[in-house]
Amino acid sequence: ALHWAAMLNQPDAVKLLITRGAPRNAVNHAKETPLHVALKEGNEETVEMLIEENVDVNAKNEDGKTALHVALSLRQVNLARRLLQSEKLDLDANVDAEGNTPIHLAVKEGLDGFVEKLVARGFSPDARNRAGFTAEELREQQVKEAEETAERHLAAKEERELRKRRQAEQEMNLSEVTRFCRNYGLADSVAEILYKKKFRYLDDAFFDLSSAMLKKFGLSNDDREKLEQ
């Protein structure tokens, strides 16, 4: 019941349940306390109530994340700031299953301004996670991965565009109008112009093209004369 009240942002109900003996640090199937749940929903009033009721701000969920970890991973800066104000916040306890400190998560989420507050509170910027990275090294890795991802996307886009161009060229080469132009010694640029104008077949629309229309398409006098013969 306490978890539901926390999730639904019912601070009065939360206080009543605790007053009646509900375990304030009870955990659900994911080892989340009511504080974890309230943080996930961004319920500021309930978070404030739970902190005032002396819940364990250092309790960890199944991933080893404390309330501060959860707040930062969800970019809940106001709630993270409130947790930093708690005198019961244990710096040593705030390390998750992967060895990440709140600074690691702040950097991961791009909360650079909040890193300064964490350092001022006593968290070390030089702490390493289980993968061996400091927060700054994690930032560098993220930048590198982002650049590599961008390069892959660009390469994939260029490959798609190349395939489309090749397919268009192949279709143009097979069109009746292109073969006609080449048989009469017209430049490929003429066939390309006509293809782009949707002239693919030797039909009435093609043979009814006027000199004025061909000129509008950008064909030279020589090319127009060859087509009109």
Map tokens 């019912």 to a residue: 10
Question: What range does the domain containing 115 cover?
Answer: 2-137
18 plus 71 within the same structural domain: yes
Which uninterrupted H or E stretch holds 106? helix 102-108
Residue 142 counted as domain residue: no
132 plus 192 within the same structural domain: no
20 plus 103 within the same structural domain: yes
pTM: 0.67
11 plus 68 within the same structural domain: yes
Map tokens 């708690």 to a residue: 86
Residue 68 counted as domain residue: yes
Residue 153 counted as domain residue: no
Instruction: Write the pLDDT tens digit of every residue in 42-79.
Output: 999 999 999 999 999 999 999 999 999 999 999 999 99
Question: Within 13 Å and on the Cβ side, how many CA atoms surround 55?
Answer: 33
Looking at 89, 107, 137, the residue that finishes a domain is 137
Instruction: Write the pLDDT tens digit of every residue in 134-193.
Output: 999 988 888 888 889 999 999 999 999 999 989 988 888 899 999 998 988 888 888 899
Looking at 81, 110, 137, the residue that finishes a domain is 137
What pLDDT does 188 receive? 86
Residue 169 counted as domain residue: no
Instruction: Write the pLDDT tens digit of every residue in 164-174.
Output: 989 988 888 89
113 plus 180 within the same structural domain: no
Band of pLDDT at residue 7, cut at 50, 70 and 90: very high
- Residues in CB range of 133: below 8 A, 6 or more apart: 104, 141
Q: Around Cβ 122, how many Cβ atoms within 10 Å?
A: 10
120 plus 20 within the same structural domain: yes
> Chain-centre distance of CA 3, in angstroms?
30
For the domain that residue 36 is a member of, what is the CATH number? 1.25.40.20
C-alpha 28/C-alpha 64 separation (Å) is 14
Residue 162 counted as domain residue: no
- How many domains does the chain fold into? 2
Residue 30 counted as domain residue: yes
Do residues 22 and 51 make contact, with C-beta atoms less than 8 angstroms apart?
no
119 plus 208 within the same structural domain: no
131 plus 179 within the same structural domain: no
Looking at 137, 162, 195, the residue that finishes a domain is 137
3-class secondary-structure state, position 176: helix
35 plus 125 within the same structural domain: yes
Residue 40 counted as domain residue: yes
Residue 196 counted as domain residue: yes
